[in-house]
Amino acid sequence: MRLTVGFDMLGRLKHRALVLRSVSAACKRVTSRVDEPASVDFRAQVVSAVSEAFNNIVLHSYAGRDDGIVEMDIQTLPDHISIEFRDWGDSFDPDSVPPPNLDQLPESGLGVYIMKTLMDLSYAPGQPNVLTLSKKIPPAYRSTRAKGRRRVKTRSRRSKSAT
């Protein structure tokens, strides 16, 4: 089942915790095996990439501005998550950022490298700039929720004195 959650916020680093908690919770909808190592790795990778994306929007796209709005939509399917960010700040070309030299402590470019390494990334500059990060969970760890799902009937229990 598809789930979409969206919200708007000011592009400030203090909102990063809300973004990351929301994405982490959404990752749990992608697999029902939330405590297995592959699910934990999947969630950690998505949260790391989203953290870098949000940081880049706040620190670079809205550099020095306190009024920038970030719109975020999280969409999940049983084997996939997609996070779309929209901002109206300065745009950039993620393909122009060279891979960092990992043998040294890189000064810049590490965030884009992390995003590209951990997730599929697409970017469309404009008004708004649209950054989309997406990831499929490996087939061996996909959710089994749809299989064996049982419908549970519930009834309201009213006491005789309440009627």
pLDDT tens digits for range 71-92: 999 999 888 999 999 999 999 8
CA distance 59 to 24: 22
Domains contained in the chain, number: 1
pTM: 0.80
> Confidence band (pLDDT; 50, 70, 90) for 156?
very low
Which burial class, exposed, middle or buried, applies to 20 when counting CB atoms under 10 A from its CB (0-12, 13-18, 19+)? middle
Domain that holds residue 134: 3-162
Q: Which pLDDT value is given to residue 85? A: 98
> Confidence band (pLDDT; 50, 70, 90) for 161?
very low
CA distance 66 to 113: 26
Task: Tell me if 115 sits within 8 A of 53, measured CB to CB.
Answer: yes
CA distance 84 to 134: 9
List the CATH number of the domain containing 37.
3.30.565.10
